[in-house]
Chain A
Amino acid sequence: MAVVAETLPKARARVFHEDDRLLVSAGLYAALGLTIALPLVLMFLWSVADGWAPPNVIPRDYTLSRWLDMIADPGLLRAALNSTVIAVVVTFATALIALPTAWAMARFPFRLKRLVEIFILAPVIIPGLVVAVGIGQVFLFLGLSYSITGVILVQIVGTLPLMIRLMTATLETIPDDLIHAARSLGAGTVGVVLHIILPLAVPGLLAGGLLSFIGSFEEFDKSFIVGAPVVETLPIKLYTFLDPYSLQLPIASIIAFILLLPALIVFVIAGRILRDDLMAAGMGKL
């Protein structure tokens, strides 16, 4: 797997004076520290602070009791489990649904392609709330409301556009000749898909899969309206504490960490797998 940095052509790395390189490093990492690490640290301090009023720059007293209370909630584990199962199913289903369509988008010239492209992009454009409320009514009619199935179905609406675009970008890069070669060597449609297209689509599938997983794991709006409170995912469980009109900083900070942790872990792993060029090809071309 190409590590992100290596996707840039080697020749691009210009030679720098030693001082310059240090300066650039120092500047960039300082910026990173101030804009990302510091807020995270402060948020963590809030989650363990036992009171933090001015003029204290850091809290004077600390407590773990809030963390312990929160973690002791059996509902949390259940919700995490729900979220994981839903995210896994959503990820695989999204990939499965996206592949044929991405293939068509990548390989078939047709007249209404632009229109289909816009339609596939549309779920990104239309506010999730509108989709969710609309789909809520439809699901009620279909008897899918407040079920895990319903939540999975509605989440796929959100993950599908990105996956299709990423897979289209990936599949566009597979030369026709490879497929013809495989066929002339005796591979049928199944053989070609299994041995040529899928293996070559792996970078795209990994990138799309990770984004779908995170997207599903963190999705709130649509899952909430379609599933809550019968189906509780981690965000549904935790967002009640993040009610903007009554949120308490210490509790909210804990919640933020619980919500962020899996995503951050996945993202750090993803950093090794996500190909920038693919991401950009998937999202960066309209």
Chain B
Amino acid sequence: MSELEISNITKDYGATRALHPVSINVERGEFVTILGPSGCGKSTLLRILMGIARPSAGEIRLAGTRIDPLPPETRDIAMVFQSYALFPHMSVGKNLSFGLRMKNVPSPERARRIEHALEICNLTGLVERMPRQLSGGQQQRVALARAIVMQPRLLLFDEPLSNLDAKLRDTLRQELVYLHRRIGTTSIYVTHDQAEAMAMSDRIVVMDGGRVVETGTPLDLYRAPTRAFTAGFLGQTNLLTADADGTRARLPWGQLVALSAQAKGIARVSVRPETIAIRQDDTGAGTVTSVSFMGANALYTVGIAGTTLKVSQAGGESLIAAGSRVSLDFNGALHLLKDRELPEAA
């Protein structure tokens, strides 16, 4: 039995279906990210988990207890909001003690837990401050502290880092990972930022159009996505069709590559840019159409055999100029996508 079992949850708004039957299991102590573009249904799912919205069908169990009919305040779930949702009329300390008072936690216990939360969130000394006197990062940490002080069974994060600048976001992301490791609370983290998802999660649930597209560890999803959407959403990729003849497939530029699974006929595959080696070659079949230097690597677009490919090359002393002819070489296993068709111009 998983810690959190989401079974066949749907949500309809009138005639529109915001969530198609969604089922997700989360193990105890796991950090699961729900990743998807805006409008994919992840926020709706979060609201249902929290109890702000009610599912149209399906059920949710937390530690074996069915919680979907319960009001939010009895669910033993705490949430960190995108807007932080700090109570503007309460000091940091009051914000932290609010939930404990609501749950009638006795005063000495309350003080101890607040002290602890402040300490692990690096907030010591700010107890008396009002929210408006805090910086964005501090507010974010207070929001986090306010949630973990509850020692909930489940922590929900709703894009909690999206209102911060890039640098702070990186720092806080690391802090969050570290923190999760320390407290070990089962967590669900909602975001549309794939980098964030990959950096933090034990497991990622990819959602699109109100459905769960795919679930897996960051590594699996990145390396061997089974859906074009996942492949495209997690990092960059080239979505190609290949002619498969059982164990091998032919890539558009003619290279024959081993398949990870048996397939015949038209196969849809995802080829990561960094899995293709590029080499300047006046007799090569490809032509570089553009070059972007990214620092750690360089990204080329290459026109070859009627398609355009993205190719990434690490380091290197020099760049290949646009217009140069190149030859390409894929080295790795081709993972088949299960999609019936590929999205146009992926």
Chain A residues in the interface with B (C-beta under 8 A): 175, 177-178, 180-188, 191, 195-196, 199-200, 202
Binds A, one of B95-103, B218-226, B267-275, B303-311: B95-103
B252 at interface, CB cutoff 8 A: no
| Contact between chains at B51 and A183 (CB < 8 Å) | yes
B interface with A by C-beta (< 8 Å):
50-52, 71-75, 77-79, 81-85, 87-89, 98-99, 102-103, 146-147, 150, 156
**Chain A min CB distance to B218 (Å):** 27
Question: Which residues from chain B contact A188 at a C-beta distance below 8 Å?
Answer: 71, 73, 102
Docked-complex contact B72 and A184, CB < 8 angstroms: yes
Tell me whether A185 and B150 are in contact in the complex, defined as CB-CB below 8 angstroms, given that A195-B98, A200-B89 are known contacts: yes
- List 6 A-B pairs, minimum CB-CB distance, nearest first: A185-B99, A177-B85, A186-B102, A183-B72, A181-B85, A186-B103
By the criterion CB–CB under 8 Å, are A182 and B83 in contact?
no
Q: List 17 A-B contacts (CB under 8 A).
A: A177-B83, A178-B88, A180-B50, A182-B98, A182-B102, A183-B51, A183-B72, A184-B156, A185-B98, A186-B73, A186-B99, A187-B73, A187-B98, A187-B99, A191-B102, A195-B87, A200-B89
Contacting pair B71 A183 (CB below 8 A):
yes
In whole angstroms, what is the CA distance A196 to B87 when docked? 7
Nearest CB of A to B118, in Å: 16
Q: Residues of B contacting A181 with CB < 8 Å?
A: 79, 81, 85, 87, 146
- Scoring A175, A186, A195 by chain B CB atoms within 10 A of each residue's CB, the highest score goes to A186
Complex Cα–Cα for A182 and B89 (A): 13
Known: A177-B81, A183-B73. 16 other contacts (CB 8 A): A178-B85, A178-B87, A180-B50, A180-B72, A181-B79, A181-B81, A182-B98, A183-B71, A185-B98, A185-B99, A185-B150, A186-B102, A186-B150, A187-B99, A188-B71, A200-B87
How far does the alpha carbon of A107 sit from the alpha carbon of B7 in the complex, in Å?
Answer: 31
Measured between beta carbons, the chain A residues less than 8 angstroms from B81 are 177, 180-181
Q: A187-B98, A188-B73, A191-B73 are in contact. Are A182 and B52 (CB under 8 A)?
A: no
CB neighbours (8 Å) of A182 from chain B are 87, 98, 102
Chain A contacts for B84, CB-based, 8 A: 177
Min Cβ gap B48→A in Å is: 12
A188 to B75, CA, bound (A): 11
Q: Which residues of A contact B50 (CB under 8 A)?
A: 180, 183-184
- Chain B residues, CB < 8 A from A175: 83, 85
Q: Among the listed A177, A185, A202, which residue makes an inter-chain contact with B102, where contact means beta carbons less than 8 Å apart? A: A185
Most buried by B among A180, A184, A187, A195: A184
Given A181-B81, A185-B150, also A200-B88 (CB < 8 A): yes
A184 touches B87 (CB 8 A): no
